[in-house]
DNA sequence: GTCTATATAGCGATAGAC
DNA sequence: GTCTATCGCTATATAGAC
């Protein structure tokens, strides 16, 4: 098998396992078993476990950028795009109930480990923050855009954390509904203040 | 030193280290160094690491119950008590920026480990959920009480997660202010519907 | 490029002296 | 009740055959 393909398999298995079991709790043996190669073979592709983590985060960054670009390319307005972000909680509900949010839980774990990849992982949040901020800028103007982006990110994180702890999908539905209402309220408020926008 | 005192020292050190470094990442050597005893001495007080975790969670449950009882005994109304809960984010701001929420991060880690103590850890959330639900019942009636309690818990968790990821205390202040406003809105809404309450 | 075998270190846990 | 010494296991990482 070509080197790039095996490398990619390792990244995908590690990505999945880091999410499901946590970074530290996932061993080379776990990943090797998942990929179907031997432990020793890892070091032909990566020089350390931290190296695999870097590759996993880089992969997630790429995937997230692609997703946000696609959402940007679709023929939706900013409000509909933000609604699409909120819907992640529904689309990924099963995984979130089991493992929480991939971004939030990774950042949390790396913070406790004092791991050097913290900044890279945080960049995943920044990607969403910037993208949401851009949508809010067009929706309600630039003044409160970042504040609203962070607020929405925080609400999503909180829902994921409690949904994971209580395994409660009804709660997710309830909160998603409220988030959609909150978004409508923000749009209405902006339209009152600047009737020309939108 | 009497047995109970050493045991208590171990629990306190483990509690602190599990919070700061995570459960799995904290070794017996770490705890031993912190307490000032040898590794071998542990097993006179606990039969396993999971046993220490159980004791730590039990301790946190006791402390949390005591705190909520004290808040209940104070001469505040339900609104003021809920505001006191929100203020945890300010009071513990420094720790939250560094290590996140002690309850949320523990539940998250144990979920990834598939650890049997998950249910016990979740009980910490339930303690706040029930207490907040009780306050909301008196504030706006029983129908929406649990929903509001879960909503507030989720908002707090989200703030803690993002505050930890971005190390942003200004964001915490901002969100706490919004949470207080949200609470006032809930009270006002309830007073409109049931003018006799409060 | 993938394998087996192994080095090295740290972990949780145990045994037994004091 | 606390210690030292050590077991058994698993982890990351390396060396070298194929």
- pLDDT tens per residue across span A2-61: 888 999 999 999 999 999 999 999 999 999 999 999 999 999 999 999 999 999 999 999
Of the candidates A9, A4, A108, the one whose C-alpha atom is nearest the C-alpha of residue B96 is A108
**What was the pLDDT predicted at A3?**
80
Residue A168 — very low, low, confident or very high, per pLDDT cuts 50/70/90?
Answer: very high
Shortest distance between the Cα of B106 and any Cα of chain A, in A, equals 10
Arithmetic mean of pLDDT over chain B: 96
| DSSP codes joined into one string, A17-49 | HHHHH-TTT--HHHHHHHHTS-GGGGGGT-SSH
Asked if the C-beta of B156 comes within 8 angstroms of chain A's C-beta atoms, the answer is yes
d(CA B189, CA A44): 64
Which nucleotides of chain C have an atom under 7 angstroms from any protein CB?
A: 1-6, 10-16
Spans of all domains in chain B: 1-47, 62-193
**What was the pLDDT predicted at A196?**
62
- What tokens does B116 get? 């049997």
User: For the domain A1-47, what is the CATH superfamily, name and number?
Assistant: Homeodomain-like (1.10.10.60)
Arithmetic mean of pLDDT over chain A: 96
Q: Taking the C-alpha atoms of A105, A110, A111 and A116 in order, what is their torsion angle to the nearest 10 degrees?
A: -150
For chain A, percent of residues with pLDDT exceeding 90: 93
User: For the domain B62-193, what is the CATH superfamily, name and number?
Assistant: Tetracycline Repressor, domain 2 (1.10.357.10)
Selected for mutation to probe chain A from B24, B100, B130, B158 (highest A CB count within 10 Å) is B158
**pLDDT tens digits, residue range B141-181?**
999 999 999 999 999 999 999 999 999 999 999 999 999 99
- pTM value is 0.97
**pLDDT tens digits, residue range B84-125?**
999 999 999 999 999 999 999 999 999 999 999 999 999 999
d(CA B182, CA A43): 53
Distances (CA, A) of B189 to A55, B54, B162, B182, B183: 50, 42, 29, 11, 10
């Amino acid at each position: 098998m070509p080197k790039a393909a095996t490398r990619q398999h390792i990244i995908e298995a590690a990505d999945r396992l880091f999410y499901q079991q946590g970074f530290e709790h996932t061993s080379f043996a776990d990943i090797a078993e998942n990929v179907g190669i031997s432990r020793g073979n890892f070091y032909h592709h990566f020089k350390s476990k931290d190296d695999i983590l870097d590759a996993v985060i880089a992969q997630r960054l790429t995937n997230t950028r692609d997703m946000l670009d696609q959402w940007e390319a679709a023929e939706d307005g900013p409000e509909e795009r933000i609604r699409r972000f909120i819907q992640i909680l529904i689309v990924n509900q099963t995984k979130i109930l089991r493992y929480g949010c991939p971004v939030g839980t990774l950042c949390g774990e790396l913070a406790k480990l004092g791991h050097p990849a913290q900044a890279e992982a945080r960049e995943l949040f920044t990607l969403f923050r910037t993208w949401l901020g851009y949508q809010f800028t067009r929706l309600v103007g630039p003044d409160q855009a970042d504040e609203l982006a962070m607020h929405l990110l925080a609400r999503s994180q909180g829902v994921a954390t409690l949904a994971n702890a209580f395994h409660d999908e009804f709660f997710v539905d309830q909160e998603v509904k409220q988030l959609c209402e909150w978004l409508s309220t923000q749009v209405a408020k902006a339209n009152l203040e600047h009737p020309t926008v939108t």
